[in-house]
Amino acid sequence: MIDKLPFKEIPPPAFDNDFVSILLFESRSLLVLEWKRQISLEERKVGFWKGLELTNQYQIKNWIIDDLQLYIISPEEKEWVITEWTTEASKSSILKLGVVCADYYPALVANTEFTDQGKEQYESKGVIEHEVFTDYTSALFWIYPDGAV
């Protein structure tokens, strides 16, 4: 959850509705996209496109996607992410994209396979690095390896 971020100040959401909240940390070039509940493909598209719009507007380099409330990613969502989303995201300023997911075995297995496919697509289309984590701290230390969290 966004309240687990180790930052002193949490900005108000740049975008917020019943299924997604997007926060911008401009000084850290970080966008945090938090799914509030299980989502559909159309809802994923709304969140990702809004995040990409904000990324392009502010030239954001780092993303954290909070998937903690998601229990399944449909085959249609996976297909869309692997094809259309990776193509468009790879044209942006994003360099690192970390996904935080639940640490129960089925989610990790499902996300590992999906992450491997995503990595291949991001690498083939550009420079975005993509990893999955079970907590915000690990994701942030991967994004900011110099410890400037």
Burial of 21 (0-12, 13-18, 19+ CB in 10 A): buried
Q: How many domains does the chain have?
A: 1
Q: How far apart are CA 2 and CA 146, in angstroms?
A: 22
The mean predicted confidence, pLDDT, of the chain is: 86
Most confidently predicted of 88-92, 99-103, 130-134: 88-92
pLDDT digits (tens, 9 = 90+) for 135-146: 999 999 999 988
Identify the CATH number of the domain in which residue 99 sits: 3.30.750
Is residue 49 in a domain?
yes
Please say whether the beta carbons of 142 and 95 come within 8 A.
no
pLDDT at position 116: 61
Is residue 35 in a domain?
yes
Q: How far apart are CA 24 and CA 14, in angstroms?
A: 6
| Domain hosting residue 94, numbered range | 10-143
Taken in order 7, 46, 120, 70, is the CA torsion positive or negative?
positive
pLDDT digits (tens, 9 = 90+) for 93-108: 999 999 898 876 565 5
